[in-house]
Structures are given as structure tokens and as C-alpha cells.
Amino acid sequence: MKPVAGLGQLKSLDDLTNRSGWPHSLFSTDGLPRAAALDIIDTAREMVGVGRRRVKKLPTLRGRTVINAFFENSTRTRVSFELAGKRMGADVINFSASASSGAKGETLGDTARTLAAMNPDLIVIRHPDGGAPWFLRERVGCAVINAGDGINEHPTQALLDALTLMEQLGDLEGRTVAIVGDVAHSRVARSNIHLLHTLGANVVCVSPSTMRPAQMDLALKAQWTDDLDALLPRCDAVMMLRIQRERLRESLFPHNREFAIRFGLNPRRADLLPSHGIILHPGPMNRGVEIEPAVADGDRAMILSQVENGVAVRMALQLMLLGRSES
């Protein structure tokens, strides 16, 4: 049996937590069933409560082993996965590219075989190459979670963003969400577009023409515009993206100042949102470029809620992928 894109073979939360056979993996939000996404989000709501207790530990995954394999730099995602695993009672091992054999020239295939020989229950992988989680899953006998692969996908970020949106807006059916900035190089944007469409939201991407994915605007279920001011009054939420400088081979706009003037979210633009409109940012932020400090630190910004919800979503996923130990 081979796992499919999205959450392989998911039927229900009970089905997952009671099964001890075929391990499931989360690769993508493209093809993730609506029922599966809502199950994850509902379970994550419960985990938010766990994170606010005085004792933030659950014994659910005691005896399970989780390896966080990060081949790209990360703060929020890596720490979030580590904290999620430890709060669920799992044994968590972390390694990064700079401290791994990959820095010495070892291939991902050899790394995969080495990790598989250690018999982990789950591997969380972030890698600069698109498709790396699928490649890894074919070579290990455990569940795999995609924590970001190149510019392809970042499914757990989309799930935590959806949780944050639903906390503030309720059902997303018919809601309008703007995704603004460097869409072409953003795996966050891709995963959000897929998931928000599945949840019934209308997604409108706002970017310079040089930051719009070539041909992908035909495949992604979103509308496209370059007029942010005209769009904001009809948005329920706006998600700002940083410029992915580490992925740029050339400058795609003359200067940060020009980008901020045309596409940055400043207090004047934030006031164009409806009274219930909220602001998200996956981080890290480039303050003064895609978002002004006064907006990032304002009451409408849900950025710290996204961070809290990130731990909850990753706790929920580890529960749903691994379930309770049978031993």
C-alpha cells in the first residue's frame, strides 16, 4: 500500500487513533480531504487547551520516537515540532543539516536508510528540494510529515493558519482571504491556497508580476490581482508573505522601498479592512517591507496566535498519525 498525497488513507480520527498497522504520512494539502482537515483542526483545538495548562504534558505517545530532520534553517517550525512531540510524551531527536552527515556529502537516500535502521515511529523533514518527503517515505518504514520542501508545500503551516482563521471568523465557507507578496517562491502560499479552497474560502493572491508563479496561477485555485488597496475592503483576512531572498537568483523589484509602497501592509491599508478583518503572517517578518511594525504589533494581527496554534496542530498530527501505543 502506498500513501497518497495529502493525508494517506485517512477515514476518521477514531480510525487513526485505533489503528496500529500501516503508518500514515502528511505530505501536502493538495488532495487532503475536507473531513481530514477538519478532524485535524478540531483535534488541534483541544491541544491548544493542553498548552495553556500548568502541566502541559500528555502521556499519549510515551515510548514513541520522533526524529526531526531539518536540512534547512528554521526556528518556529523546528521548535514547534520539538515542543509538540515532547508535550505528547514522545522521545524527540533533532538534527540539522550543518550538524549531520549531509554536510559531509552524504546523500538523502543514505541518510534515509540510516534513519530507518534506528526504527523511529515518525520523521519530520524540512528540505530545500521539492519532493524530498515523498522520497524519504519510500525508503523508511515509518510515518513522515513534510515540514517544508523547497518552494513546493508546507502543509502544517496551512493547517495552523486555517485553525487561526476559524478561531476568529468561524466557518470559512465564502470568506475572502488575500495572500500578499512573494507567492512564486512561497510554499506557505501554495499549501494555503489548496487548503483554503478545500474549506470553501475564496483566495485572492496579490503580488508583482515578477513574483507570480509561472503557469502555476493556472493550476492554483485562486484569483490574482496587483491592486491591494481595491481588494482589502472586501477581505475577511489578509496573509502577508516575506520576500524569499534565499531563493532569489536575481532581484525581482528595484528596491524594498518600492515593494513596501505598492504591496506592504501599513496602518492606512490595514484600516481598509472590514472591522472584523484580521492579519496573518507565517514569519519571519521583514518589518518595514511587507508589514509595518504598527500593524504587526496591532490588535488585528494574529501572528502570535499562529505560533501557539502551530504547536497545537503538530501535537494533533502526531496523535493522529501515531495513535496510542499498543504495548
- In this structure, the answer to whether residues 94 and 35 fall within a common structural domain is yes
Task: Give the per-residue pLDDT at 217.
Answer: 58
Task: Give the per-residue pLDDT at 29.
Answer: 95
- In this structure, the answer to whether residues 39 and 104 fall within a common structural domain is yes
Are the C-beta atoms of residues 234 and 210 closer than 8 Å to each other?
no
Choice among 2, 54, 104, 249 that is catalytic: 104
Task: Give the per-residue pLDDT at 249.
Answer: 52
- In this structure, the answer to whether residues 171 and 273 fall within a common structural domain is yes
Provide the 3-class DSSP secondary structure of residue 268: helix
- In this structure, the answer to whether residues 271 and 314 fall within a common structural domain is no
Q: What is the pTM of this model?
A: 0.90
Q: Active site includes 126?
A: yes
Task: Give the per-residue pLDDT at 251.
Answer: 56
Is 26 part of a structural domain of the chain?
A: yes
Helix axis angle for 34-51 and 187-198, nearest 10°, is 110
Is 251 part of a structural domain of the chain?
A: yes
Choice among 19, 45, 62, 76 that is catalytic: 76
- In this structure, the answer to whether residues 97 and 19 fall within a common structural domain is yes
Task: Give the per-residue pLDDT at 4.
Answer: 33
Q: Active site includes 154?
A: yes
- In this structure, the answer to whether residues 238 and 259 fall within a common structural domain is yes
- In this structure, the answer to whether residues 142 and 183 fall within a common structural domain is no
- In this structure, the answer to whether residues 146 and 159 fall within a common structural domain is no
Rounded to an integer, what distance in angstroms lies between the CA atom of residue 146 and that of residue 95?
Answer: 15
Choice among 154, 175, 185, 314 that is catalytic: 154
Q: Active site includes 52?
A: no
What stretch of H or E contains 76?
helix 76-87
- In this structure, the answer to whether residues 181 and 281 fall within a common structural domain is yes
Q: Active site includes 104?
A: yes
Task: Give the per-residue pLDDT at 240.
Answer: 98
Task: Give the per-residue pLDDT at 68.
Answer: 97
Is 164 part of a structural domain of the chain?
A: yes
Task: Give the per-residue pLDDT at 212.
Answer: 86
Q: Which residues of the chain have pLDDT under 50?
A: 1-23, 324-327
Task: Indicate the number of domains in the chain.
Answer: 2
Cα–Cα–Cα angle for 308, 159, 12, rounded to 5 degrees: 115
Is 6 part of a structural domain of the chain?
A: no
Domain range holding 166? Answer: 155-296
- In this structure, the answer to whether residues 168 and 278 fall within a common structural domain is yes
Which CATH number do you get for residue 253? 3.40.50.1370
Is 79 part of a structural domain of the chain?
A: yes
- In this structure, the answer to whether residues 229 and 139 fall within a common structural domain is no
Choice among 43, 77, 111, 164 that is catalytic: 77
What stretch of H or E contains 237?
strand 237-240
Are the C-beta atoms of residues 319 and 313 closer than 8 Å to each other?
no
- In this structure, the answer to whether residues 163 and 260 fall within a common structural domain is yes
Are the C-beta atoms of residues 41 and 20 closer than 8 Å to each other?
no
Is 107 part of a structural domain of the chain?
A: yes
Task: Give the per-residue pLDDT at 243.
Answer: 86
**Do you find a cis peptide bond into 284, omega within 30 degrees of 0?**
yes
Choice among 126, 187, 242, 300 that is catalytic: 126
Is 133 part of a structural domain of the chain?
A: yes
